[in-house]
A = this chain, B = another copy of it.
Amino acid sequence: MARAATTTDAFNAVAEPRRREILEVLARGERSVGDLVGELELAQPQVSKHLKVLHEVGLVAVREDGRRRLYRLNGRGLKPIHDWVARFEQHWEDRFGVLDAVLEELQEEP
């Protein structure tokens, strides 16, 4: 088996940096594909492809406007990630994590 498809879930979709950037821009408001091409340094086809992935996993929504398509963020799609990560929150808020990191580095010295 190969790696899970990027369209499998939000975790996989968001693993790609450019897609994260797209979401960040959309967080500031609705954008057309062309807008995104301009704000990010990406070619139009790749933007469309990334948007397709994001749409398939429900992270963005589309709306038609003449020849253009306006995309907007659907923040709810990120909640699963938030919830999963939140379970580990105490693991970095205490000092043990820090201590572990230090011990780790000492041990791994070549």
Residue ranges of A at the interface with B (Cβ–Cβ < 8 Å): 3-4, 6, 11-12, 14-17, 20, 23-24, 27, 58, 61-63, 72-76, 78-79, 81-82, 84-92, 97-98, 100-101, 103-104, 107
Indicate if the CB atoms of B61 and A74 lie closer than 8 Å.
no
Indicate if the CB atoms of B61 and A76 lie closer than 8 Å.
no
Indicate if the CB atoms of B11 and A88 lie closer than 8 Å.
no
Closest CB-CB distance, A11 to chain B, in whole Å?
Answer: 5
Indicate if the CB atoms of A81 and B92 lie closer than 8 Å.
no
Instruction: Report the separation of the CA atoms of residues A58 and B92 in the bound assembly, to the nearest whole angstrom.
Output: 13
Say whether, besides A27-B88, A85-B82, A100 and B15 are in contact (CB < 8 Å). no
Copies of this chain: 2
Indicate if the CB atoms of A76 and B89 lie closer than 8 Å.
no
Q: Which of A20, A24, A91 has the most CB of B within 10 A?
A: A91
Q: Which residue of B lies closest to A80 (CB)?
A: B85
Sampled A-B contacts (7; CB under 8 Å): A62-B107, A73-B88, A74-B91, A75-B89, A75-B92, A78-B92, A82-B85
Say whether, besides A4-B17, A11-B15, A12-B15, A88 and B61 are in contact (CB < 8 Å). no
